[in-house]
Structure 1
């Protein structure tokens, strides 16, 4: 099992980032990991505010960057006192995406935790989360739900390619006490214009064969991961489009967290983030772990 040594939580003090910090604290305590609170002071946003609001009020002493740095430092100190874990504060000036990527590159944390958007109850992703997910260097946990009880049910999307297997393993390392569910979506791709009568008759047999092979492979993976989990590992093979299968199963469980590999259905997508992963991220209200 991979050791979880350090966790980073990006915060702009919005409700969404507050939920991310709560989750990061819970995971840091569970793993005995250190925690870093990261805030980037966006100068361009500050200049925009000055153009809209009363400049004199917005430039009162101390300056806003100093106030934000102090607020971040105080939050880190309060969390360290409350939890007993090591909590540091990292303050930078610039856009949040660059700050998160620079910190992750320099310090190689085990996990970066980000709120999905300023208001976590809303679906979709905010601009910061979407930009960070374009080319992550470590697992990224996108948090939507407030309240940081340990995850009970974690669903991992698996297609048996290296990226999805690596994502499932990361989920077991991060959430060993959860009930883990592995889902493999089997989709038969056929050219409708090239299907003859004989081919049509063979479709059920082809689906049965694919389903049986997927079931065997998924069960073998579950057995290999069983030693990393507290509870038995559940497996499910769905005859459906991958993104829809994941969303449906996540709602049925219901899952607390959905786990996807960064390239989803494949690395040939126009975006570095695979189409299946993008669909899940934009259409679920559950937390999502994305593993590069």
Structure 2
């Protein structure tokens, strides 16, 4: 797996995204990477007319001034800036490709209770559009991640997510769990088949997963019968991770987000790393 050399961080300069540049800079120091600060300016007209700025020139200058302050504050890190017009997802996905970003760092999503139930959020569209993993940073810390919990499915997206976590948290303690929803026949069975039970098949998948290249040093992932929400919540309360890692999908539809990934992204209990398949 190639090293992380360029970290793109998107910010709307609001409080909900304040932690993103701080975390991006901390990672850049640790990894010897550069940071690209990105801000999307609303267009005049089109689909974002209702967000039109009263004085775009002045606001562009204000954003640039804020970015210059950030560059001065973190002068030990190479920081480039991009301020351009367009929708947030278009600007970020285009810039991520232009600068060959290895990681995108975002802040928290602005909750829109009704619209969020009807469509993908900007954060979710960005995650699907960019060519690299996405870190949702909102805790505001600069210390290295110390405890990482992966909610994995043994699919390629999970492998990519865990490998990336190993890069951005090289000194962390790693744990991984797999929530196994057993079919009724296995729940009612009193004796497992040697080669056909769901538990046996899952164990084989786990063994194959652990042989993949690039995974961080970690114990064998736990396979825990139950729903993923319940299982992960229990382990979060027990381990108190400062980074949670998930794949974008279970493997059935690599170009979409799984329901649980979407739930976590909208209200992450800790910093959250999301990756698509390689």
- Structure 1 residue 221 displacement after superposition: 4.3
Task: Say whether residues 1:182 and 2:176 are aligned partners.
Answer: yes
- Structure 1 residue 75 displacement after superposition: 1.7
1:273 aligned partner? 257
CA distance in 2, matches of 1:140, 1:226: 18
2:93 aligned partner? 101
Task: Say whether residues 1:171 and 2:165 are aligned partners.
Answer: yes
CA contact (8 A) 1:14 1:118 kept: no
1:85 aligned partner? 77
Note the 1:146-165 alignment, pairs <5 A.
146-165=140-159
CA distance in 1, matches of 2:42, 2:242: 32
The 1:131/1:216 distance shift into structure 2, 3 A limit, reads closer
2:21 aligned partner? 21
Within the candidate set 254, 270, 275, 1:286 is matched to 270
Task: Say whether residues 1:135 and 2:120 are aligned partners.
Answer: no
CA distance in 1, matches of 2:206, 2:150: 11
Note the 1:57-72 alignment, pairs <5 A.
59=55, 63-72=58-67
In terms of fraction of residues, the more helix-rich structure is: 1
Task: Say whether residues 1:263 and 2:263 are aligned partners.
Answer: no
Note the 1:222-233 alignment, pairs <5 A.
222=210, 228-229=216-217, 232-233=218-219
- Structure 1 residue 209 displacement after superposition: 4.5
2:12 aligned partner? 12
- Structure 1 residue 224 displacement after superposition: 5.9
CA contact (8 A) 1:16 1:143 kept: no
CA contact (8 A) 1:264 1:275 kept: no
Which secondary structure state, in structure 1, belongs to the residue aligned with residue 189 of structure 2? helix
When the two structures are superposed, what TM-score results if normalisation uses the length of structure 2?
A: 0.81
**Which deviates more from structure 2 when the two are superposed, residues 30-39 or residues 89-98?**
89-98
Contiguous gaps of at least 5 residues in structure 1: 52-57
What count of residue pairs does the alignment treat as equivalent?
267
CA distance in 2, matches of 1:204, 1:17: 52
